[in-house]
Structure 1
Amino acid sequence: MASIELDHVSKMYANGAYGVRDVDLTIADGEFVIFLGPSGCGKSTTLRMIAGLESVTAGELRIGGRPVTHVPPRDRNIAVVFQSYALYPHMTVRQNMAFGLKMRGSPASEIDAKIRDAAGLLGLTSYLDRKPAALSGGQRQRVALGRAIVREPEAFLLDEPLSNLDAQLRAEMRLELVKLHRRLGRTIIHVTHDQVEAMTMGDRIVIMRDGEVMQVGRPLDVYANPANTFVARFLATPPMNLVPATLSADADGALAVVLDGATLPVPGQHAASYRSAAGRPIIFGLRPEDLHEARQNQAWQPLELTVVAMEALGVENILIGQIGGEKPVEIAARLSRHFHAPIGSKVMLYADLAPMHLFDPESGKVLPRPAIALTAQ
């Protein structure tokens, strides 16, 4: 096992464009870290630099405390599992898993023992004599993982390994990867653009955009306390509602968020943090699950919406509604499966403002306030 350190690492291309800019990150020994972001954000490039498949323009990489910036990939003792599986179609599962060890000159008895152990761990024992064409997508992914496991690397780098699977298989493989991490205890970096994978699998999330790290933290901490509007919108489906507003203060100093069509008092616990922004335009942020169909708490504030759409998901309904007059803004609410309202009707929901956020409209950065802990992690 090994820690992985990126000390102000950058990747610049010949045209002067940055693929990755100044990533400063330490991944602990045995940690499961998710690199999350949209396509082209630099997450796979960062992974490839750690693997040695991309050169580093600036900064230093260390694995297990050892500088590896200019060390060839074969000498880094890490395993990469790609999106495409990269299995040899003419070889059996056993042969695919053994290939790397044979190239190293490992004894046949050692190879057989490692394949047996890895196949048992991944549920592949009965498939060892099959070729990839006779396997499902999930089984092929397990073979790719098994080929990496038998090498006994210090760390695993997984580059969107689940993106080729259907929804049910993705859910199954998410659980399998978490179990595998617990059994092996090795450092894992998992690249994905899937928010569900990020929230459910990793010890920490590294959210990237345009080659830069936007925020690093435990999944629920990042979810509850986004650093900027990009993180707020990216890490959830449906995303956080972000509404242009103004922060006002009355003669007594009480603060309120003034939207087009509603005025929402700022909870007392946030007043001190937000007071300096009074009188300024802001972006008001509230998660869809913080809008409720019934007023279970007197502190929750009424908010009238015009129903634009209803998405029935079985376990819950997502309401899309409009607030405002001349320039209405659409917001989402995550409601119970029993809630129904016709399109075009007006409904009254109740906003729990305790988890609200305010953002600077120019920089997109969150206005600081005490962090919220959703649950112990």
Structure 2
Amino acid sequence: MTAITLDNISRDYGCGIFGVRDVSLAIDEGEFMVLLGPSGCGKSTTLRMIAGLEVITSGRIRIGARDVTELAPRSRNVAVVFQSYALYPHMSVRENMRFGMKMRGTPLDEQDRRIADAAEILGLDPYLDRKPGALSGGQRQRVALGRAMVREPDVFLMDEPLSNLDAKLRGEMRQELVKLHRRLGKTMVFVTHDHVEAMTMGDRICIMRDGQIEQVGPPLEVYANPTNTFVAQFLASPAMNLIPARLTAAGGGLGITAGPLAGALPAREAALYARAAAEPAILGLRAEDVLTAPGPATLPVSGKVIVREALGAENLIGIETDGVTLSARTERQFLPAFGDQVTLHADMSQMHLFNAATGVAYPKGT
């Protein structure tokens, strides 16, 4: 197993345009690290810099104990799996998997052993003599993974490998990749713009924006404690509700006014966010924390239903009031009609608070 260390790496395209700017990240041995962010945020550029496919204009990269900053891609012992699969259409699955080893002069018996091992792990035995055109998208993706595996690399780099698959296959391949990672124990770096892939696959996620890192951590930790409004909104669907707010002293405690929401905060939240009193702030509430029934720490909010998505196991409801739209994730039995006036209940014990000027979160528990 091999760790990866990025030390202030940048990709400067000139004229003040950076693909990546001063990114530092330590990826542990055997870790499944997910680089997550919107298109153009620098995640694929970062991956390509690790692979040696993109020029590093400043900073250093280490893979294990080796400084690979100046090494050619073939000397880094990494395998890259691309979005497009990049299979040779005129070759069989076996020939596609063999090709790279053949070019590197790997002995034939060793080639056969590696192909057999990878095919068994990936369930490709029945397809070894087929051409890529005779395979499904999921099968082609497994061939691309097998071709990477037979190299026996120190590190696997995957650039949005599931984005060409339909929803059902994406779900299946997510599970297969997690199983593969556990079986191989190799360091893997996975690029995606899909927050579901990040949440379900990564040991840690690294959220990027405009060529820089916004937050790094275990998925559930980042979800529970987003460092700013960008992370809070990006790592969820629907995005976190963000409402301009102001906190004021009220009856020995702390009250909040945020669009249609107004009332006293629970004692714990009042103590946590006392420093934000009288400062312009942004209230953050996830959709699952807007409830259909009142609770001990809720504030009521009424509005007209303008969004209604029945998903089977749950519903997504959007209500509008005073120019503010509030999203709620509700139980499947609660499905009002468009235009209905309904009352929901914001669970303030789950609130997040951000500085209005910077978008940075006020830390919880400090």
Question: What range is the shorter-chain TM-score in?
Answer: over 0.9
Distance 1:146 1:90 in 2: 17
Matched to 2:298, the amino acid is W
Q: 3-state SS of the aligned residue for 1:97?
A: helix
Q: Which residue of 2 aligns with 1:55?
A: 55
The residue correspondences of 1:239-278 to structure 2 (distance < 5 A) are 239-250=239-250, 252=252, 254-278=253-277
Q: How many angstroms apart in 2 are the aligned matches of 1:192 and 1:365?
A: 24
* Partner of residue 336, structure 2: 341
Please give the alpha-carbon distance, in whole angstroms, between the structure 1 residues aligned to 2:261 and 2:179: 47
1:330 matched to 2:320? The reply is: no
Task: Decide whether the 8 Å contact of 1:51 with 1:76 is kept in 2.
Answer: yes
Show the counterpart of 1:317.
315
CA deviation profile, 1:90-141 (whole Å, cap 9, x unmatched): 1000000001111111111110111001000000001000000000110000
Which amino acid letter does the alignment assign opposite residue 136 of structure 1?
A: S
Separation of aligned partners in 1, 2:225 and 2:60:
30
Which deviates more, 36-45 or 361-370? 361-370
Q: For residue 109 of structure 2, give the secondary structure of its aligned residue in structure 1.
A: helix
Secondary structure of 1:366's aligned partner = coil
Q: CA deviation at 1:341?
A: 1.5
Alignment of 1:57-206 (within 5 A): 57-206=57-206
CA distance in 1, matches of 2:245, 2:235: 22
Measured in 1, the distance between the counterparts of 2:264 and 2:22 equals 40
Larger mean Cα displacement after TM superposition, 350-359 or 73-82: 350-359
**CA–CA distance in structure 2, aligned partners of residues 333 and 259 of structure 1:** 16
Name the SS for the 1:165 alignment partner: coil
What letter corresponds to residue 367 of structure 1 in structure 2? Y
Equivalent pair of 2:297/2:349 in contact (CA under 8 Å): no
In structure 2, the partner of 1:354 is 349
Please give the secondary structure, in 1, of the residue aligned with 2:111.
Answer: helix
Letter in 2 for 1:335: T
**1:30: how far off?**
0.2
- Mapped to 2, the partners of 1:60 and 1:265 lie a distance apart of 51
SS across alignment from 1:321: strand
TM-superposition CA deviations, 1:220-262 (whole Å, max 9, x none): 000111000000100011111001111111252x112202333
Corresponding residue for residue 229 of structure 1 = 229
Residues 305 and 320 in structure 2, CA contact (< 8 A), matched pair in contact too: yes
Q: Secondary structure at the match of 1:13?
A: strand
Partner residue in 2 for 1:375? none
- SS of structure 2 residue aligned to 1:333: strand
What percentage of aligned pairs have identical amino acids?
Answer: 60
1:291 partnered with 2:286? no
One-letter code aligned to 2:314: E
Report the TM-score, using the length of structure 1 for normalisation: 0.95
Q: Paired residue for 2:44?
A: 44
Range moving further from structure 2, 190-199 or 347-356: 347-356
- 1:282 is aligned to 281
Deviations 1:58-112 (A, max 9, x none): 1110000211111111010010000000101110000000011111111111101
Tell me the equivalent position of 1:238.
238
Q: Work out the number of aligned pairs and report it.
A: 366
Contact 1:118–1:150, Cα closer than 8 Å, also in 2: yes
Distance between the aligned counterparts of 1:112 and 1:124, measured in 2? 14
Pair 1:309–1:140, CA change in 2 (3 A) = same
- How far the C-alpha of 1:343 sits from its partner, in A, is 2.1
Partner of 1:301: 299
Where in structure 1 do 4 or more consecutive aligned residues deviate above 3 Å? none
Q: Distance in 2 between matches of 1:312 and 1:28?
A: 41
SS in 2 for 1:354: helix
Alpha-carbon distance change, 251 to 349 in structure 1, aligned in 2, over 3 angstroms: closer
Q: CA deviation at 1:16?
A: 2.5
TM-score between both structures, scaled by the size of structure 2: 0.98
- Give the conservation status (yes or no) of the 8 Å contact 1:85–1:144: yes
The DSSP-based 3-state class of the residue aligned with 1:34 is: strand
Q: Which amino acid in 2 is paired with 1:361?
A: A
Partner Cα separation in structure 2 for residue 153 and residue 62 of structure 1: 15
Tell me, yes or no, if the aligned pair for 1:224 and 1:355 is still in contact at 8 Å.
no
Q: Give the unaligned 5+ runs of structure 1.
A: 372-377
Contact 2:310 2:335 in 1 (8 A): no
Unaligned runs of 5+ in 2: none
Give the match for residue 374 of structure 1.
none
